Amino acid sequence: MACSATPQPEHAGSSLAGAVPRNSTWSNRGGSGTPVYVRSNSIRSDQNSEARVHKDEGGNRGFLINLVREGVFSVTEMASRFKKLLLPRKGSRKDNPLHIETGSPVASSITPPEAVDSTPQPKQQRANVETAATQSEQQIAIATQAPRQPAPCADERLTAGLSGTGAETAHPKTSREQVLYQPANASETLVDIIFVHGLTGDSYNTWLEAESGTYWPVHLLCQSVPDARTMAFGYDADVAKFLRPVSQSNLRDHASTLLGDLADKRIGAESPLSNQRKIVFMVHSLGGLVLKKALCMSESSVEPDLKQADSCTIAVAFLGTPHRGSGLAPFAKVVASILKIGGKRVNKGILGVLERDSEVLADVEGSFGIWLRKKSNGFNITCFYEELELPGVGLVVTKDSAQISGYPQMSIHANHIGMTKFKNSDDTGYTRIIGTIERWLGPLKAQAGQDMFTPPKIGFLSFMEMNDRGNDIEPAADGTCAWLLQHHIYKDWLSQRRGLLWVKGNPGAGKSTVLKYALQAMEQDEPLPPNKLVTLSFFFHCRGAEIQRTPLGLFRSLLHQLLGRFPGPPADVVQTFKDRSQSMGKPGEKWNRRPQELQGFVETSLPKILVESSIRIFVDALDECGEEAAIRLVKYFQHLLSKCSSAQHRLSICFSCRHFPIVSLDNGLEICIERENRQDIRRYIWDELKDVIHGNELKVLQDKILHRSSGIFQWVALIVPTALRLHRQGRNAKAIEKSIQEVPKGLDSLYREILKSIDGEDLPQSLQLMQWICFAQRPLSLEELRFAMVVDADTPYSSLGECRDSADYTETDEAMEKRMGSLSGGLVEVKEHQNRRVAQFIHQSVNDYLIRDGLQQLEGCLTSSGIGRARFRLSRSCIRYLTMEEVLCNSSKVAEDLEHEFPLLQYATTNWVSHAEIVETEEISQGDLLGLLKWPSNQILQSWARVYKIMEPRSDRLPATNTTILHLASRYDLLSVITAAVRLKDKPDVDSKDEYGWTPLSWAAKNGHEAVVKLLLDTGKVDVDLKDRYGRTPLSWAARDGREAVVKLLLDTGKVDMSSEDKNGRTPLSWAAGNGHKAVVKLLYDTGKVDVDSKDKNGRTPLSWAAEKGRRAVVRLLVDTGKVDVDSKDKSGRTPLLWAVENGHMLVVSILDPHTPHTPPRVSVEQQRMFSGRAAAAIAFAVVVTATAIIVDFVTAAIVH
């Protein structure tokens, strides 16, 4: 998820505005587009400086003499102290502290060594001594911050709220708590992470790594913990100031302010429950003592709002906090006294707290210890201590003092100042801190995950038809299917630790009924307790909605059941779920439509759940999701079983399917229905006939039907009603037996006879009805069918009013139901579906027979293109409905109103193109669409696009505004339409743009329609390099999606700019590399006209994108060119190697960094800079030695004098 700081107003107390030190200006040097703010120091005149150097020689002399005469230091010790202070500080951007510029309350920058005269004059000597005194104050104070300015920063997050040039901002040391970063969805914020600085620090510079400009609470933390709100608490913790008054607040005052500001920020904030959100504190030095005092005060507070810190804090990271005081505190107090003598305003009381024998410190420690013991084991503390000494001072807080007994302690390889500053996410100190935070937040994330997977929250996985098919299957007749539970194979499957069971059978054998029976028996009779067995099921339905016949529906249903029933999804599943949501958008809108995403969730969830529970999955009618999908799913089931083979509990999968497309099952069990259901059929016949036929006649008839059934229950279900009808007509047993004998064996033969019985005059409408039910993209309601039957492809009507007045119109649903019965010979039934009554075939075998032979039988046609002709008819019926006068003139903008007024409008709008796509694959010319859509006018298509946007605004197939027939044909590969258009006398505009700036060529290239691209290029009238609103060309789209043939066609024109950059600066090569299309990358590279190492606006190269995505073959190809810089850094400071490491692509890492441990490492840019700076360091050292000698001489002379 992209991180962005919460914009703050430019006023006192604004954390981000206040993050800019006073006396500095910011100017927009980014030109147009995103502002890039660059710092320029504005050094004020000496008279306005807050750190003016005293230039009175006598004053300086008396100041130093008093130090020695009062016995504070010996001459030697004083000289030693100042000598240490003058040594360069490790890690400083400018390694010479001899001269300090002003510009902020703390000295803002340090001049480079070359700017200092190596032979200072006497007046300069005195100034340098006082400068050193100022430096001593900053370095000795317990929690001082390095006097650095922020580096130039192009990150717009840091400059939120700034505009123009020379923006004056508030002082960063403000007693206000400010929000630095807020997740996009405030209501789903997991935790508040609050930063509290130390002595003489502030809420910005304490956490700023000046050289890189990294303010890690914003720049790093929001990427590592994107669901945390980040805040910084600022308070005036200065020990001394010139001229201006210094705060005299004590520890209790600061703690009280923290509690008040915390309550203000969390009460009535962005979320109603924000005052209940958990808190993690990051505290440095004195800030840790402030927090400890605040927590104790919070517990005893009588105001509920002030008790939040006590009740909500779950963890604290103490960074260099002197829990047992600091050995430097006495020295710091002495220096404070010295500074007071020298004219500075000081607050020695705050330093007294830090002395080892301080009563205040002892009280804080005692109170906090009592508070801590009251907390449960769930409270977390980690103490971090400094490894390095502060030059000239030593360890400010020792390891022993930085520790709280019984809690973890970790080191940071830095001094007291540097331990709060990190350049990037690879900094060892940062990785230790963020690792600690992630460990603390693990339980919170798991709990948040539980909330995410409560039934209301996982509703997006469900769909209206999810349980329809299972509910529609009639329960097994009394006494039938019981054989399954006693079958030895079924028992073996139940008893096996894991297993795959295939319940197979011919169409109509009763597979679905048997599977439903097994599922119900499992749920009712299974001896395992509910928490030890999870039962999941899904029933494919080829005659239902599209989602009922696709793997997407299966995985959405399984995941919905799994997360809804299991008490606590695994933490890693929760995290993956949240990552997908953050990276791909809100669930229910984007990624839940991708079966591979949901399949991954199922696969990840099962092994974790099997630790505690057994899982049994039932999947019905696998063949109804399509041949290829069925085969893939069986392999997936086998993969799941193999992956879960070592689980503590059992995973068992049972699926039903015809004998084809699954031919055999490796390492699985099989039960063939027609071999086992003979007694069930006998029982069913007996129960249906026993009330009207008796004695021997019943037995003979029962045997006859059973013999001819061949185990097909559906055949029996059609014949038994015939026997009953004949009996009611007075036919005797012999006549009934004879009639049954004449009925063909097998369902196909039976269906053929049924269709022959339809009245000849009804055959045209019978065919139309069968075509609609066979090929509609979803089941049609009776009301939709009433209009579908009258608005035919060749209808003479131009308005819906005329349709209603015609003799072909059926006025009511009841009449339509009766009409369907006669037109279908009883092969169509009416079912409840989503609170509508829809038409469907009585069995899937009817649909299969019609597609194979039945439609040709009804047409009286011997050709085999029945599917194409049916789809053609349906698509034209939809278009004719869309062109009805009432539809074109309607201006309603509410989907419900449109659906009520025009029953067939939703189906016609969203499905006519789908039918036309299939027609094209059947090689049926569709040039007639030009006339139907009134080309060259665009009125009908614009009306269609408007209605589409109202009815299905989130559809992936939503047409763009200004879509023309050429855009549509190019997008959906309707080659015959384009062919007809370009042959007309009035040639179409082949370069017209839709609302996205896409041309017909853009659409065809993007979707890989090679023939359409070639046809458009052959017109000679297309601009092959025309850019859309995103700055992308057809070549860019084709390269992104790996359309190799299209890329080659475009390159062969010789008219494309292969290095064309889009608005993000990405080239076709960059897109192809990032998406792993090696063949396209090679095509582009082989032209010799591309820069394989070009950088986009984020500083990223094709290699960088390929490395991030783990595109190993592309990475190898790019590296082998020898023309890429494998160490190239983007604007975030990441190299391709770092991108690969962060995303766990170790094979890519091995390509980018093939060196073994015995191979000398490469010399980094930073190392090269270090080596080249040795000469400057030598000069600086010489200056320091000279200055030290002068000071020692000066002090000695002063005492003697």
Query: What topology is assigned to 458-674 in CATH?
Result: Rossmann fold (3.40.50)
User: Could you tell me the CA-to-CA distances from 796 to 259, 799, 879 in Å, in that order?
Assistant: 79, 9, 14
Instruction: Please name which of 140, 123, 133 lies closest in space to residue 98, comparing C-alpha atoms.
Output: 133
Note the pLDDT of residue 328.
62
Cα-based angle 652, 655, 660 (whole degrees, multiple of 5): 140
Q: Which of 163-177, 725-739, 1178-1192 has the highest mean pLDDT?
A: 725-739
Lowest mean pLDDT among 362-366, 689-693, 931-935, 1106-1110: 362-366
DSSP at 546: G
- Cis ω for the linkage preceding 1000 (within 30 of 0): no
For 1096-1131, how does the pLDDT look when each residue is reduced to its tens digit (9 = 90+)? Answer: 999 999 999 999 999 999 999 999 999 999 999 999
Note the pLDDT of residue 546.
87
Note the pLDDT of residue 447.
65
Which ranges of 813-952 does DSSP label H, i.e. alpha helix? 813-824, 844-849, 855-859, 866-882, 885-889, 895-901, 905-921, 928-932, 939-951
Count other C-beta atoms under 10 Å from residue 1023's C-beta.
13
Kindly give, in sequence order, each residue whose CB lies less than 8 Å from that of residue 559, ignoring residues fewer than 6 positions away: 458, 461, 598, 601, 602, 605
In this model, does residue 120 exceed pLDDT 70? no
For 738-769, how does the pLDDT look when each residue is reduced to its tens digit (9 = 90+)? Answer: 999 999 989 999 999 999 999 999 999 999 99
Note the pLDDT of residue 378.
72
Cβ atoms of 155 and 219 closer than 8 Å: yes
Cβ atoms of 366 and 373 closer than 8 Å: no
DSSP at 1157: T
Cβ atoms of 473 and 539 closer than 8 Å: yes
Give dist(CA 876, CA 869) in Å, integer: 11
Radius of gyration of the chain (CA): 40
For β-strands 669-672 and 651-657, DSSP reports them as unpaired
For β-strands 37-41 and 100-101, DSSP reports them as unpaired
- φ, ψ for residue 232 (rounded to 5)? -130, 130
- φ, ψ for residue 655 (rounded to 5)? -135, 150
For 91-115, how does the pLDDT look when each residue is reduced to its tens digit (9 = 90+)? Answer: 333 333 322 222 232 222 222 333 3
Q: Could you tell me which residues are beta bridge partners of residue 387? A: none
In this model, does residue 346 exceed pLDDT 90? no
Query: What topology is assigned to 169-449 in CATH?
Result: Rossmann fold (3.40.50)
Note the pLDDT of residue 1157.
37
Count other C-beta atoms under 10 Å from residue 719's C-beta.
20
Residue count of the chain, please give it.
Answer: 1201
For 490-502, how does the pLDDT look when each residue is reduced to its tens digit (9 = 90+)? Answer: 999 998 866 999 9
- Rounded average pLDDT over 1068-1079: 97
pLDDT band at 595 (very low <50, low <70, confident <90, very high): confident
Tokens at residue 819, please?
Answer: 């009409």
User: Could you tell me the CA-to-CA distances from 515 to 477, 485, 681 in Å, in that order?
Assistant: 14, 11, 16
- Cis ω for the linkage preceding 1157 (within 30 of 0): no
- Rounded average pLDDT over 284-292: 93
Cβ atoms of 981 and 935 closer than 8 Å: yes
Kindly give, in sequence order, each residue whose CB lies less than 8 Å from that of residue 346, ignoring residues fewer than 6 positions away: 239, 240, 246, 336, 337, 339, 340
Kindly give, in sequence order, each residue whose CB lies less than 8 Å from that of residue 608, ignoring residues fewer than 6 positions away: 569, 570, 572, 573
Give dist(CA 754, CA 756) in Å, integer: 5
In DSSP notation, 197-263 reads --TT--TTGGGEETTTTEEHHHHTHHHHSTTEEEEEE-----SEEESS------HHHHHHHHHHHHH
Domain regions of the chain by residue span: 169-449, 458-674, 679-739
User: Could you tell me the CA-to-CA distances from 688 to 692, 697, 702, 719, 720 in Å, in that order?
Assistant: 9, 14, 10, 11, 7
Note the pLDDT of residue 351.
66
**Residue with the two structure tokens 């930063």:** 195
- φ, ψ for residue 243 (rounded to 5)? 65, -50
Mean pLDDT, the chain, whole residue set: 79
Note the pLDDT of residue 574.
59
Q: Secondary structure of the chain: what % helix, strand, coil (to 5)?
A: 50, 10, 40
- φ, ψ for residue 1194 (rounded to 5)? -65, -45
For 579-589, how does the pLDDT look when each residue is reduced to its tens digit (9 = 90+)? Answer: 666 555 556 55
Residues above pLDDT 70, as percent of the chain = 72
For 837-891, how does the pLDDT look when each residue is reduced to its tens digit (9 = 90+)? Answer: 999 999 999 999 999 999 999 998 756 678 999 999 999 999 999 999 999 998 8
pLDDT band at 295 (very low <50, low <70, confident <90, very high): very high
- Rounded average pLDDT over 1075-1087: 97
Note the pLDDT of residue 21.
35
Give dist(CA 19, CA 195) in Å, integer: 14
3-state DSSP call for residue 709?
helix
Note the pLDDT of residue 10.
34
Count other C-beta atoms under 10 Å from residue 665's C-beta.
17
One-letter identity of residue 11: H
For 56-80, how does the pLDDT look when each residue is reduced to its tens digit (9 = 90+)? Answer: 333 333 333 344 444 444 444 444 4
